[in-house]
Chain A
Amino acid sequence: MEDLLTVENLETEFHTAEGIVKAVNGISYSLKEGEILGIVGESGSGKSVSVLSLLRLLPQPPAYIKGGTAVFRDRDLLHISDEEIRSVRGNEIAMIFQDPMTSLNPVMKIGKQIGEALQLHLGMTETEARERTIELLTHVGIPMAEQRVDQYPHQLSGGMRQRVMIALGLSCNPRLLIADEPTTALDVTIQAQIINLVHNLQNETGMAVIWITHDLGVVAGIADKVIVMYAGKVVEYAAVDELFEDTRHPYTLGLLASLPEMDGEEQSELKTVRGSPPDLTNLPPGCPFAPRCDYVIDKCLSENPAAIPVEAPIRMDQNNEGPVHLAACWVDVRVREAI
């Protein structure tokens, strides 16, 4: 299948009073039609900033996209005109946000908010938009949509609001849906419902999805491919089962080790990744993860490794199309030896 989106060397900075915060430091990845890509990483690893940069949604200043390209259907999103990027937003790439409590306009009826997008991109009349809105709301599992359409966001529960956001995102049949931690603010049971909903809608429409989360469990459940980000860089990239079975980066190992075990010993201590993320205004010359790494060697402190194909991955790409597993580490974690 064709690549839908190809991001290369994306760099985003924030110019603040404390200095330049290098939030995204040259990340590259590609996404095929209909694929679900999970992006995981801890807070501040640049997950959200990297996707907000794609749609140019960051306030500029202070944000500043320093370099890179993001080719989506033959257009470089980072370099097309404001007018063009606006027609891509919502229409071809839609986005849903973390907190459904704040991502809906509190003084606007939900039907109006969805209708606005339909009228804008699809040129519907108000009556058509209203009918389509009710269809969409029913489709994402909102009961009594005819009544709900005239309600304000505060009259809906969190799960309902996230469904409204999803309906809003899907309203113009986008080719790519970016979900920025859409389940983080929800109860676990509602989380599962939302994940299933997006998964099924994806099966139905064939759209691609970028799912940002810090929850490896969620990624395991939904993604085809996974990017692990650390300090604004891709540290590991692999198909989802590959990542879990044949982890090649110490940071990913640390994340996996820190998952609580269902069948673990009672009262056993939760494992953590020691230390804290680096100061993004003043990144060390070597690998940003080196100070927290159990596998650190001298080279790690002086040279920052690039994400390169790993040796002998378990699986190849289905069509044998080049490397599927990248890791940015000087050490082969399987044998604890320098590459």
Chain B
Amino acid sequence: MTTNPPASDVAQVMGEELAGEELVESKGFWRTTMQRLLRHPVGRIGLIIVIILVIMALLGPTLSPYDPNTMDFANRFSPPSMQHYFGTDDFGRDTFSRILYGARISLMVGVIAVGIAGTVGTFLGMVSGYTSRRWLDESIMRGMDILFAFPAILLAIAIMAALGKGVANAMIAIGLVYIPIFARIARGAVLSVRNDEYVTAARALGTPNRVILPRHILPNSMAPLIVEISLSLAFAILAEAALSFFGLGTQPPTPSWGRMLSEGRAYFQQSVWMAIFPGLAIMLSVMGFNFLGDGLRDALDPKMKQMLEIRGR
């Protein structure tokens, strides 16, 4: 044994050398991302639209002037006015109220469908990217390729045909269709971090895979997944509208944008507002989530981050 002083003393002496290093404040991941997003011109617009949409969905019943399903035959096909902001439809129902209620359906279908796709897809993709068993990776990803080979809306229609009509089945169908996208993105993200040194370090500490995946790999692969969640919400809303347009999704009399658009189509010549307003609602919300996704992609990209910070000064 050498004559070195006990470790704790040495550590203390060296600790004093380090005491000069100041504690650096951390702004936190979400706060910085939000700040960058607000500096992103398109992302900011997207965020505002999405917030409006969420408010509509949450407060729809309070905000709407009429019950969305009450028919008023005296006021069929009324054009937009101060009584009926967006006019009325062929049963005299208030289009504005129906659009507010429709936001709820659209958003609910979007969130649940993306929830299904995101959870299942991310799980499969992470397993596929992390496993060292080639056959497991291959079989998951080839399965995803099969799903991916069909055009999304066609596959959703086929699944609806098997499951039957209805909102719940629409959520499942849309969710299933978008699983491969999340699986691919998650797999790619996991592949890029699985051999990072902190993962090896965690393995060297004996951390089991069931802990490494959620605590070390997932948080470090989140950025592309967050972007994809936002973009997929746009697709899911569009898909729900399409399914309802074909009469497969939301069933009458529940207000749904796709269905309203389809009904309005029949009267397009005489009362154009019946189709225009639901169409605008679909377009704006899809655009909003797309913008938000673009903004988030830039806000989460280390290279773009700097640009947004410079712009912010």
Contacts and interface: CB of A to CB of B under 8 A. Distances in A.
Given A57-B200, A116-B202, 16 more contacts: A102-B196, A107-B219, A108-B216, A120-B208, A120-B211, A139-B11, A147-B23, A148-B23, A157-B21, A160-B21, A165-B201, A197-B7, A197-B10, A199-B2, A200-B6, A200-B10
Contacts of B7: 139, 197, 200-201, 203-204
A338 to B, nearest CB: 40
What's the interface size class on A, roughly?
35 or more
A197 B7 CA distance: 7
A203 B9 CA distance: 13
Contact of B10 (A57, A88, A104, A196): A196
B220 interface: yes
Contacts of B16: 143
Interface of B: 1-2, 4-8, 10-12, 14-19, 21, 23-24, 26, 29, 132, 134, 195-198, 200-208, 211, 215-216, 219-220
A168 interface: yes
Interface stretch (A92-100, A246-254, A321-329): A92-100
Given A152-B26, A200-B6, A203-B7, A105 B195 contact: no
B198 A103 contact: yes
A200 B2 CA distance: 9
Contact of B15 (A88, A90, A108, A142): A142
Contacts of A61: 132, 134
A200 B3 CA distance: 10
Given A108-B216, A120-B207, A200 B11 contact: yes
Interface of A: 55, 57, 59-61, 86-91, 94-95, 97-99, 102-108, 116-117, 120-121, 138-144, 147-148, 151-152, 154-155, 157, 159-160, 165, 168, 193, 196-197, 199-201, 203-204
A89 B206 contact: yes
Given A99-B197, A143-B16, A108 B211 contact: no
Given A90-B207, A91-B206, A141 B18 contact: yes
A160 B23 CA distance: 12
Contact of B14 (A197, A201, A204): A197
Contact of A159 (B8, B18, B132, B196): B18
Contact of A103 (B4, B195, B201): B201
12 contacts: A89-B205, A95-B204, A104-B198, A105-B202, A105-B216, A142-B18, A143-B18, A165-B201, A193-B14, A193-B17, A199-B2, A203-B6
Contact of A86 (B5, B19, B206): B206
A143 B12 CA distance: 8
Contact of A144 (B12, B23, B206): B23
Contacts of A140: 11
B132 A116 contact: no
Nearest to A206: B1
Contact of A105 (B2, B23, B134, B220): B220
A34 B23 CA distance: 36
A225 B297 CA distance: 53
A95 B201 contact: yes
Nearest to B2: A203
Contacts of A95: 201, 204
B220 A107 contact: yes
B197 A103 contact: yes
Given A95-B204, A116-B207, A116-B215, A60 B18 contact: no
Contacts of A99: 197
B92 to A, nearest CB: 55
Contacts of B197: 97-99, 102-103
Contact of B132 (A60, A91, A120, A165): A60
Contacts of B220: 105-107
A144 B9 CA distance: 16
Contacts of B201: 95, 97, 103-104, 165, 168
A90 B205 contact: yes
Contact of A203 (B1, B11, B205, B215): B1
Given A141-B15, A203-B1, A86 B208 contact: yes
Nearest to B218: A107
Nearest to B21: A157
Nearest to B202: A105
Listed from nearest, the 7 A-B pairs whose CB atoms lie closest are A90-B205, A141-B11, A200-B7, A89-B206, A90-B206, A141-B15, A95-B204
A253 B195 CA distance: 36
B206 A160 contact: no
A334 B22 CA distance: 55
Contacts of A138: 11, 15
